[in-house]
Amino acid sequence: MERSYYIGLAEGGLRMPIGTHLVLHEAADVAAIELDGARLGDMVVRAAGRFNTPLAVPLMDLKLEKEALLAARGIAAAEIESFHFSGLPGAAPDFTLTPRMRATCEAIRHVAKHPGLVPMGMGIGPFSLMTKLIGDPITPVFLAGTGVTAAEDPEVALIERVVELGTELLLHYYSAQIDAGAKAIIVCEPAANLVYFSPNQLANGYDIFDRYVTAPMRRIKALFDARGVDLVFHDCGELTTGMIGRFVTLDPAMLSFGCSRLLWEDAALLPKSIVLYGNLPTKRFPASQLSVADVERLARELLDKMHATGHPFILGSECDVLSVPGSEREIMAKVEAFMKC
């Protein structure tokens, strides 16, 4: 799609949460809907309508890819959640979409039938996927940053193999989402942050970040470019300015950050062809200590400061807004509050 489309949405004052989880969890049979593409698609359409946005954002569930990668290797379903590779996995098997992934693709196909909506895809990034598959990914990433090679250290070899395997799976999954009609895809890389990468190490250069985050993402971006699909890049982790510079080189249509970032300062790091999205502290919305009035104040402050930068901006959430049992009304009241600002 033309970049002017997203910029136009920003200029038109769009406000929206990543809110499909909220709408989905109003239903009684969530698990059944998650496996039913048409019903799941209806939820995405309903969420877009509820929040008055043409961007039809799928459910953000970043567990699907780990499940698919391990299921393809014959790991029992009951073990998948807690499974971590302890040895070097063999070559990539033929990936098959899991039932949840097939439903996600069917939901995109369903959304694509609705004129006026932009069918969007969703998934995890290669680095974040790797961190879910290895017990301690931080130490080998740091060691690799000190110059230790895969040949010298089995833990470094493991992360490199798993990043490669994960990227192959993601290319397969994103292709399926594009086949289903996705016009833009949200790729979530929340682990590309300063928990996993020491700023002290990055001060000497971003080679290690480029190797494990930017380079695999470039392969995904190349797929999107070849298929005419826009990248929406999301990272709600704590970031360095240098990391943001790397994300900008991916040339996303939109960038979405967590509430640790001051977007009005980050705007100076981005060309105006990239829309900034975010970043109200929605992870704190279930807490009564953050009042509706607080949310309104934060939203107005963010809007004012972003307006002053002149950078295209869509007011929204720092991540997907989760429905928390017992706090549903409180969360929705805060979402509605910022939507009205």
Partner 1 sequence: MSTLSELAVAVEGGKRNDAKLITQALLEQGLKPLAIVEQGLVPGMASIGEKFKNNEVFVPEMLIAARAMKECMGILEPLLAAAGIKPKYTAVIGTVQGDLHDIGKNLVAMMLKGANFGIVDLGTNVAPDKFVAAAREHGAQLICLSALLTTTMPAMKLTVQAVRAAGLTSAKIMVGGAPVTQEYSDEIGADGYSQDAASAVDLALRLAEAC
The residues binding partner 1 (CB under 8 A) are 81-82, 136, 138-139, 141-143, 194-201, 283-289, 322-326
209 to each of 20, 149, 235, 328, how far by Cα in Å? 31, 15, 14, 38
Residue 322 Cβ, how far from partner 1 at the closest point, in Å? 5
Residue 65 Cβ, how far from partner 1 at the closest point, in Å? 15
CA dihedral 20, 239, 224, 212 (to 10 degrees): -120
DSSP 85: B
Residue among 291 and 309 whose Cβ is closer to partner 1: 291
- How far is 191 from 126, CA to CA, in rounded Å? 10
Residue among 81 and 152 whose Cβ is closer to partner 1: 81
Residue 30 Cβ, how far from partner 1 at the closest point, in Å? 13
Strand locations in 75-152, DSSP E? 118-124
Do residues 128 and 11 touch, judged by C-beta distance below 8 A?
no
Residue among 123 and 145 whose Cβ is closer to partner 1: 145
Residue 194 Cβ, how far from partner 1 at the closest point, in Å? 6
Tokens of 191: 């682990």
Residue among 38 and 195 whose Cβ is closer to partner 1: 195
Residue 201 Cβ, how far from partner 1 at the closest point, in Å? 7
Backbone phi, psi, residue 277, to 5°? -125, 140
Tokens of 226: 């070849």
**What would you measure as the largest C-alpha separation in the chain, in angstroms?**
56
Residue 137 Cβ, how far from partner 1 at the closest point, in Å? 9
Tokens of 19: 């809110």
Residue among 186 and 321 whose Cβ is closer to partner 1: 321
Helix axes 99-112, 154-179, angle to 10 degrees: 40
Residue among 111 and 331 whose Cβ is closer to partner 1: 331
> Position of tokens 């790797």?
130
CA 307 centroid distance within chain: 25
Residue 6 Cβ, how far from partner 1 at the closest point, in Å? 28
- How far is 313 from 320, CA to CA, in rounded Å? 17
Residue among 62 and 105 whose Cβ is closer to partner 1: 62
